[in-house]
Amino acid sequence: MAAAASDEKGSGPSMVAPGKFKILLVGPSRSGKSGVANFLGGLTDSLDLENHTPTAACRIVEVERDIPGRGHVSAELWDVSGNPQYEGCWPAIRKDVSATVLCFNAADDAQLHMLENWHAAFVLESKLPKSKCLVLANYGSEATAKPALPHKLRGIPVVPCNLETPAAIRDGLDDLLSRI
């Protein structure tokens, strides 16, 4: 009976491999999402937050982490394009999401204000609690500080990061994985 109800709602098969968490990396273009995904996925040895190669729709990077108190954890980082032309793909991308990381370029005030839209589109639409979210404030090569988030995002943990603090991003991911 449950399967019939599920089919009537059109939920279909999961897009996430069994036993893996699905974590979305979302935010405006040029916010460092791909650099973060490449670094966390071991595709690069250093954090590159300044070079920009636009992502087409979405790409998936596999991550394996050992989380204290949880053990070995596998996750898929879904690096979502910041280009609004892919908005039609967002419902499919949101399906079966475990957590969301909101990324923005902290040196660009406009990006901080855009975070509310990304929060609405990916966190609120997915009905994720704030405990399953993280904000990465990318400062590139500049000094870092915790930014004052828009009111609707308060309560979401913030990780300020720059080229000198890649461990902060790993620690932020580990903390997020321990909460989902």
Query: Amino acid identity, residue 145?
Result: A
What does the pLDDT read at residue 50? 64
What's the confidence (pLDDT) of residue 48?
64
Q: What is the CATH number of domain 18-179?
A: 3.40.50.300
- Residue 96's pLDDT is 94
Q: Model-level pTM?
A: 0.86
How are beta strands 99-105 and 58-67 bridged, if at all?
unpaired
Mean pLDDT, 10 residues at a time, over the chain (180 residues)?
32 58 94 89 74 85 91 94 93 96 90 92 96 90 76 92 84 93
Which pLDDT score, from 0 to 100, does residue 9 have? 34
Q: Which residues contact 5 (CB under 8 A, 6 or more apart)?
A: none
Quick one: pLDDT at residue 16?
A: 62
CB 67 within 8 A of CB 178: yes
- Domain edges within the chain: 18-179
The pLDDT value recorded for residue 119 is 96
pLDDT at 12: 40
User: Given this model, what pLDDT does residue 75 score?
Assistant: 95
Tokens at residue 61, please?
A: 């990077």
